[in-house]
Amino acid sequence: MFSDIFSLTSDLIHQLCMIFGYYALFKKSGRKGWYALLPGVRDYQLAVTAEHEEEGKTFFILSACSFVCKLIYICFEEGSAMWFTFIFIYLALLISSFFYSIRIYMAFCDLYKRPRRWTILWALFAPFISLIWGYNKNFQPSHRAFDAEGHGGAEISGATVDTIEKGLTVNLTDRTVIDFFRRKVLLKDIHLSIPTGHMVLLLGGSGAGKTTFLNALTGYEKANAEVVLNGNNVYTNYESMKYDLGFVPQQDLMRDGDTVNMTLNDAAGLRLPKNIPFKERRERISGMLDKFGLHSVRSSLVEKLSGGQRKRLSIAMEFVSDPTLFILDEPDSGLDGIVARKLFESLRSIADEGKIVIVITHTPDRVIDLFDDVIVLAKDSGRTGRLAFYGSIDESYEFFSKKSMEEILLSINQKDEGGEGRADEFIGKYSRKITEQAV
C-alpha cells in the first residue's frame, strides 16, 4: 500500500516538474506554454524549438507506438508467446525513442549555448533540468522560435495587383497547412499579373514553394488567394475553368504498353468536356500529333519512344484541351541540350498563340532567350516561400545585379545550401518596389 502511494506521488511530482519546467522553457523560447500539458507533444515541441522538427516527429511516433504496445502486452497472459512478442517490441521502441530524445536534448543544449555534456543530465533528470533552465535567468536561448512558420521573415508589401482582362492575376495572401500540432505558412504575400502570350520562368531554390505555388494557381491546393484567368475566378468557377488549365508534371503518367494514339485518346477522354462531338475530339487528337511531331510514331508503343518523344507526348496529353494557362514542371529533365532546346521552342510557339506558359527548369540559362518574364520565389528567414521578384528577364539581371539565372538563384539560396543567404534582402527590396508602384 505504502509503495503504491509512493509510486503515485513520485509520478505526480515527475509530471508536475515536467509541466512547469517545459512551460517556462517554451515561454522563454517564444512558444506557447500550454504545449507543456501534453505528454509526447511537449517533447515534439521541444525539438521544434531547437530546430530539429524531424527528430521530434519520429520521437512522438515512437513514443505513441510504445504506449500502444504497453497497453497491448498487459492484456496477454504473462509468459505467453504474445506477451513476449509485444514486450520485445515495446522495449525496442523505448530504446529507439531514447536515442531520439538524446538528439533532441543535444540540439536544445546548442540552442541555449551550453556544453553538450548537459545532454546526459537531460536524459537522466529532464523534469528537474527543465525547471532549472526554465526559471534561471542565466539560461537563455540564442534565438526565439515561433508557433507558426512564416512568423517573422522579410517585410510584407500589403499591396495587391489589379485584375487584368486578358491574362492571369494572382493575389495570394497565404497558403497554410496544419502539420503536427502547428500551423505552417508555406507561401505568403504573392501578387502578380501575367498577360497572355507570355512564357514565364518560375525560379527558386529547394523549399521555396514552387510546386505549392503552382498547385495554388491550378486550384489543386487552394490558398487564401484570388486567382483570376481571363476575368474568371479559378476557385469559384473551377468546374468550368478546369479545362482551361494544363499541368504537365515532371514524371509522365503514361502506360508503356499503349500506343501514342491510344494514350492521346485516353487523355482526350479525361481532359475534354463529355459533350464534345466525336469528330471534334478526333480532330483535336490529330492536331496534337501534328503540333508536337508525333504523327510518324502514332502507332508506336510508348515504351519505344525516345526521351524527347515521351516529353512531347506528355505535353500533348495536357494540351489536347487547348488550355489558356499551361504549366510544366521540368519538361527538359533528362534531355540533352539540343532536344531540350527544340522542346522549349515548341513551348515558345504555344505562348505566341496567346497562351500563358509557366515553366520550372533547373537549366534555365541555356534557353533563357525564349522567356519573357521570370518569377523568383525565395525562402525567407521565417521559412516561408515569398516573391523576391517578378518582371522581365533583363529587369531581373538589373534587380539582382547578376548576369545569369544561376547567379540569381545562388544569391537567394540559404548559406547552408551553398548560397549567399540574401533572400530577405531581395524580398524586402521587391516588396518596397511594388508598394511604391501601388501608391
In a domain, 144, yes or no: no
Q: Does the residue 80 lie in any domain?
A: yes
Q: What is the pLDDT of residue 355?
A: 94
CA atoms within 13 Å, Cβ hemisphere of 224 = 10
Tell me whether residue 367 is in a domain: yes
83 and 192 in a single domain? The answer is no
Nearest residue to 174 via CA among 213, 201, 207, 142: 213
What is the chain's alpha carbon radius of gyration, rounded to the nearest angstrom? 28
**pLDDT given for residue 108 in this prediction:** 87
CA-to-CA distance for 214 and 202, rounded, in angstroms? 9
322 and 212 co-located in one domain = yes
Pairing of strands 245-248, 232-233: unpaired
Letter string b/e over residues 357-391, b meaning 16 or more CB atoms within 10 A of that residue's CB: bbbbbeebeebbebbbbbbbbbbbebbbbbbbbbb
pLDDT surpasses 50 at 124: yes
* Together in a domain, 182 and 35: no
Tens of pLDDT, residue by residue over 67-102, are: 888 788 777 777 777 878 888 888 888 899 899 989
**Half-sphere CA count of 57, side-chain side, radius 13 A:** 8
Asked whether residue 229 is domain-assigned, the answer is: yes
Band (pLDDT 50/70/90 cuts) for residue 7 is low
Same domain? For 239 and 174 the reply is yes
Q: Which pLDDT score, from 0 to 100, does residue 438 have? A: 63
* One domain, residues 347 and 210: yes
Q: Is residue 150 included in any domain, yes or no? A: no
Q: Indicate if 95 and 210 belong to the same structural domain.
A: no
Which residue do the cell numbers 509510486 mark? 7
pLDDT score of 2 more than 70: no
The mean pLDDT of 181-202, rounded to a whole number, is 91
Q: What is the CATH number of the domain that holds 422?
A: 3.40.50.300
Grid cell locating 196: 497572355
Identify whether residues 57 and 194 lie together within a single domain: no
DSSP state of 244: G
Residue 428 lies in a domain: yes
Distance CA 189, CA 355 (A): 25
Contact 310, 341 (CB under 8 A): no
432 assigned to some structural domain: yes
Give yes or no: residues 269 and 407 share one domain: yes
**Domain span including residue 190:** 167-438
3-state secondary structure of 176: strand
Whether residue 427 is contained in a domain is answered as yes
**Of the residues 114, 135, 156, which one is the last residue of a structural domain?**
135
277 and 383 housed in the same domain = yes
Residues 13-44 have pLDDT tens digits of 888 888 998 999 888 887 888 888 888 788 88
Same domain, 212 and 280: yes
Judge if 212 and 277 occupy the same domain.
yes
Domain count, the chain: 2
Q: Which residue has the higher pLDDT, 61 or 77?
A: 61
Domain identity same for 193 and 102: no
Q: Which one has a higher pLDDT value, 288 or 404?
A: 404
Looking at the DSSP bridge assignments, the partners of residue 360 are: 329
Phi, psi at 191, each rounded to 5°:
-135, 120
Q: What is the pLDDT of residues 304-320, one digit of tens each?
A: 888 888 888 888 888 88
